[in-house]
Amino acid sequence: MGPPPLIRLCLLLTLLTVVQLGRLVNADHPQQQQQHPFAEFIQDKTHRAFSGHDNAVEIADRLGEALNHVRNNYVDLLDLDGMASTVWDTNVSSDCSNDIMLIAENIRQKQLWAINFVDAASKPEAGILQGNFVWLGSFSQCQAAKAVQNNDTQFQGKYCLANIGPALNASQPPPAQNPEGPSVTLALKLGVCFPDSCSDQDTFQLMSNLLTMLTERTNVTTGIQVYGSNCQPRTIPYDTQSIIALAVIGIFLFIIALGTLYDIVVYQPRLAELLQNGSVPGKHLVPGTLHSASYPVIGTDHSGGSNGFAAVDVNERCEVVYSDDDDAPLLADSRELPVKERTHHHHPAKHAAKPEIGILGEILMVFSIYTNTQKLLSVSSNDQSLTCIHGIRFLSMTWVVLGHTYGFSIYIVRDLTTLPNILGNFWFQAIANATVSVDTFFTMSGLLVCYLFVLNYKKVQKLHVVGYYVHRYWRLTAAYAVVMFIYLSLFKYLGSGPQWNPNGMEIDGCRGTWWTNLLYINNLLYTDKQCMGWTWYLANDMQFYWISPLILFPLVKKPVVGLVMLGVIFVAHIVTTAVISVQYDFPPSMLGNGITSTGNGSSTGSTANLGASMWDYFNRYYTKPWTRIGPYLIGMLTGYLLVIYKEEKLKIRKEVVFGLWAVSAAMALAVLYGLYDVNNGHSLTSAGSAIYNTLSRNGWALAVCWLIFACVQGYGGFVNTLLSWNVLVPLSRVTYCCYLIHIPIMLIFYLSKTTNVDFSHLAVVYYFFGTIMITYGFAFLFTVGCESPLLGLEKLVNRKKGTKRAD
C-alpha cells in the first residue's frame, strides 16, 4: 500500500513544479534584458530562471503544462500502489514506514488528526516568478499534530524542511544528505510533516524515493535531486556544554546578587554616614566612583607597572584618569570619555576615612548592579572631554543595526526579485553603503588611541609596553569571550522555527577555530570557517592597536619621525588596496558592479560567478587589515592634531570653516551616493572600481575627522550640541556590548519566523526599532552585570599592585 492520495497529490504538485524549474536550469536561454548583477545573482541562486521577460513567460507556460498534466492524469498518478510498495519505503526504518502507513489508513477514514499531517505540509505558493522558493507550510500545525488511537498518542508530528534543487550532474545519483543544499544554486525549500519516529535520514530518503517514483511514473527527466531534509526536534536536550554554561551563569548571578546586596546594605550606609559627618570631601567620594569598572589612574611614578603605562604613586599630586575605553575600540564603553584631569592632594586622613571593607568587600563591590548602574548613567563631564564622540558612536551603531536589519530580511522575504529595485532607489543608497559606519569606528579608535597616548605620555613621561597590550587585550576579550561562550553553548535553545538550526549557529565554523577569535586573527586564518563572522571588525581593530606603537613611540620622542612612519604605512595601504582591487577585478562594493553592454557583471567577469566574487571581495578586501587601516591612520593623525591644539584653540576664519564643512559634506555624500548609477546597472571599469575601493573609505574618514575636530575646536555649532547631548552618553557606553549581541538577537527573530512575507520598508523599519530596543536593553544588563565587573577586577588587581609598589 502506498502513501494516501492526498499526500501524493500535494507532493506531486510540488515536485512537478520543481521538475519544470530544473529543466530550465539545464536549458540554454540567452539573456534578453540587462539588469543589475545583484538581481541576476538572486536569479542564479533561484535556478537562474528569470533573466528576461521571455523566460518568465516560458516558465509560466511550462508550469501550466505541468499542472494540466496533473489534472489530466490525476487518476493514473495516484494509482501507484503497485510500485510504491517496493519503492517509497526503500532504506526507510520500519517504525517510520509503519507510522506513515497509519497516517494513510486514517486519512482514508477521514480522521482529522491524520489530515493535519498533510495539511501542515507545504504546497506550491504564489510568487514563484518573483523568487519565492521557500514554502514553509505550517510549522506550528505540524508540531501540534498527534496520532491518536484509542485515546492514546502513538506518535507526534516532526517538521522537516527538505531542500530540493537542480542536480549538479543529472547523470549521477543523488548525493549523501547535505543540509546546506547545492553550492551553486539555492534549493527549493519544502516544509513537510513526518511522524517523529522518522529520523532525518529517513525523511531525506523518503523525499528521494518519492522523487524517483515521480521520474519513473511520468518518464520525465527531472534534472533535480534532494539535497537534504533538516528536521526540527520537539525538544533539544541539554548537553554537557550547555549545563556547564548554565552553572557558570548561575554562579555569576549569585555573586552579582551578593555584591549588590552588600553594596546597598553595608557599603552605602557607611558611605552616607561618612559624608554626613564631613569626614570625606564629596568630590572624592561620588557614589559609584570608588569601586567601579573604570580602569586605574595613570600616575607619574617611574618604577614601571602593568596597567599599560606606569604604576600609580599614591604620594603624587597629579593624576590622569585613564578611562575604560581610552584605548578600546570606539564600539566600547567609556565612563569618562576620553580623559579627565583632576588635581588634588592625597592626605592619609582622607584615605583612612573611606569605608574600610577589605579585599573581599572590594571584590563584592565590583559586582554591584547598584554602583555599576550609577556609573553607567552618570553624564558628568568637563571641558577636557571629547563629548561629540558619544553621539557619533551611538548613531554609527544604529546605522550598523539598520543595515543588518535590511540584510537579514532576506531570510523572511519571499519576493527576492524586488530587492534590486530597492537597491537602485536613490534614497536607499545611505543604507546600501552602511558599511562605512565601520570605518567611522576605525577612525575614532585611531583618534583616541593617539590622542590619549600622547597626552598621557606628556603627563607621566613613562611607557610600559607589556601593560599596553595586556590592558587592551583584557578590555576587549572579557565581554567578547563571555558572549562567545553563551552563543556557542546556549543559542540553540533560544528559538525554534522552520529554518532554525537545532544544533546551534556556526557550530561547524566555530569548531576548531574559536581560538582564532580570542587571538584576534580570525580575519586571517580559517576564513572559510569564520566563527561569529561579524567580529572581523574586532580582529582588525586589535591588529591596528598592535602596530600602533610603530607610530606612537616615535611620535612622542621625535614627532617628525612618527609622522613619516604614519605616512609610509598609509601610502603602503593605498598601493596595496589598489593592487588587490585590480588583481582580483573587485567591484566597488560587496553588492557588485553594473552591467556593461556585453552583459558582464563587472568589467571582465560574468555574473554567473558573482556569488563567488562577493565572497572573494569580503574575504580578500573587506576584512583584511591592509585594506582597512586607512581610516585608522587618518584618525591617529587627527588625534595628534587635537593634542597639539588642546591648550590653544586653532583660530580659523569663518569662510574657511564654512568651506571645510562644505568639502567634508561633499566627500561624505559622494561616498554614500557615488554608486547610485552602479546600483542601477552602469558598471565601473576595473580601474574605476579600484579608485573607489582605495579612496572612498579614506574620504569618509576625513569627513568624520573634520566633524570631530570642528566640534572639539568650537566650530561644531548645533551639530556639536546634538552629538554631545547627555542622553546619548549612557547609550554610547553600551555600544560595545550592542555590537557583540545584536546579530544573535536578529538571528533569533528572523530564524524563528514561521512564515515569509513580502518586502516592505515599513516592516523593516518596524523590525529595526524593535531590534534597537531589545539590543540596547540586553546590552545595558550585560554591561552592568558582566562587562563592568570583569573590567573592575582588572582595576582592582592593578590598584593593589600599585599600592604594593608604593609601599
More confident residue, 684 or 803: 684
CA distances from 213 to 11, 208, 218, 220, 592 (A): 11, 9, 8, 11, 42
**pLDDT band of 219, cuts 50, 70, 90:** low
Helix (H) or strand (E) holding 135: strand 134-135
CA distances from 556 to 190, 453, 549 (A): 64, 9, 10
**pLDDT band of 218, cuts 50, 70, 90:** low
* Section 253-279 average pLDDT: 89
DSSP lists the bridge partners of residue 343 as 318
Question: 63-77, 151-165, 471-485: which has the highest mean pLDDT?
Answer: 471-485
Handedness of CA 306, 307, 310, 316 (dihedral sign): negative
pLDDT tens-digit map of 689-713: 999 999 999 999 999 999 999 999 9
* Section 613-618 average pLDDT: 83
483/553 Cα distance (integer angstroms): 34
Nearest-10 crossing angle of helices 5-25, 200-218: 80
Which stretch of 19-33, 72-86, 417-431, 529-543 has the lowest confidence by average pLDDT? 19-33
**pLDDT band of 110, cuts 50, 70, 90:** confident
- Tally of CB atoms within 10 A around 235: 8
Quote the mean pLDDT of the chain. 78
**pLDDT band of 73, cuts 50, 70, 90:** low
Contact, 226 vs 174, CB < 8 A?
A: yes
Q: Is pLDDT above 60 for 298?
A: no
Cell of 174: 543523488
CA distances from 217 to 77, 253, 394 (A): 7, 63, 62
Write down the pLDDT at residue 342: 40
Cell of 319: 593624576
Contact, 544 vs 446, CB < 8 A?
A: yes
Q: Which of 766, 719, 767 is nearest to 746 (CA)?
A: 767
- At 236 the three-state DSSP class reads coil
pLDDT tens-digit map of 733-748: 999 999 999 999 999 9
More confident residue, 464 or 409: 409
Q: Is pLDDT above 60 for 282?
A: no
Q: Is pLDDT above 60 for 75?
A: no
Q: Is pLDDT above 90 for 788?
A: yes
CA dihedral 235, 237, 243, 246 (to 10 degrees): 0
**pLDDT band of 186, cuts 50, 70, 90:** low
Q: Is pLDDT above 70 for 349?
A: no
Which residues neighbour 173 within 8 Å (Cβ) at sequence distance 6 or greater?
A: none
Write down the pLDDT at residue 515: 94
394/334 Cα distance (integer angstroms): 12
Q: For residue 427, what is the DSSP state?
A: G
Write down the pLDDT at residue 10: 53
pLDDT tens-digit map of 435-448: 999 999 999 999 99
* Section 35-47 average pLDDT: 43
Residue type at position 792: G
**pLDDT band of 222, cuts 50, 70, 90:** low
Residue position matching grid coordinates 544588563? 781
Cell of 704: 568624520
Write down the pLDDT at residue 209: 84
Q: Is pLDDT above 80 for 792?
A: yes
| 55-61 contacts, C-beta under 8 A, 24 or more apart | 55/24, 55/29, 56/129, 58/24, 58/29, 59/20, 59/21, 59/24, 59/128, 59/129, 60/129
- Tally of CB atoms within 10 A around 90: 12
More confident residue, 291 or 636: 636
Write down the pLDDT at residue 163: 85
Write down the pLDDT at residue 616: 86
Write down the pLDDT at residue 336: 38
789/363 Cα distance (integer angstroms): 9
Write down the pLDDT at residue 14: 53
Write down the pLDDT at residue 90: 82
* Section 763-780 average pLDDT: 96
Write down the pLDDT at residue 247: 97
Residue 590: phi and psi, rounded to 5, are -70, -20
Question: 198-212, 495-509, 526-540: which has the highest mean pLDDT?
Answer: 526-540
Which stretch of 213-217, 297-301, 337-341, 699-703 has the lowest confidence by average pLDDT? 297-301
Write down the pLDDT at residue 770: 96
Residue position matching grid coordinates 498518478? 77
Q: For residue 426, what is the DSSP state?
A: G
Write down the pLDDT at residue 592: 74
Q: Is pLDDT above 70 for 327?
A: no
Write down the pLDDT at residue 681: 82
Contact, 530 vs 626, CB < 8 A?
A: no
Write down the pLDDT at residue 231: 92
Q: Is pLDDT above 50 for 28?
A: no
224-231/152-166 β-pairing: antiparallel
Kindly report the pTM of this predicted structure: 0.82
Residue type at position 237: P
Q: Is pLDDT above 70 for 87?
A: no
pLDDT tens-digit map of 389-439: 999 999 999 999 999 999 998 888 888 888 888 888 999 999 999 999 999
303/598 Cα distance (integer angstroms): 70
Domain ranges of the chain: 5-231, 240-373, 388-795
CA distances from 283 to 279, 387, 570 (A): 12, 21, 45
Cell of 517: 577569535
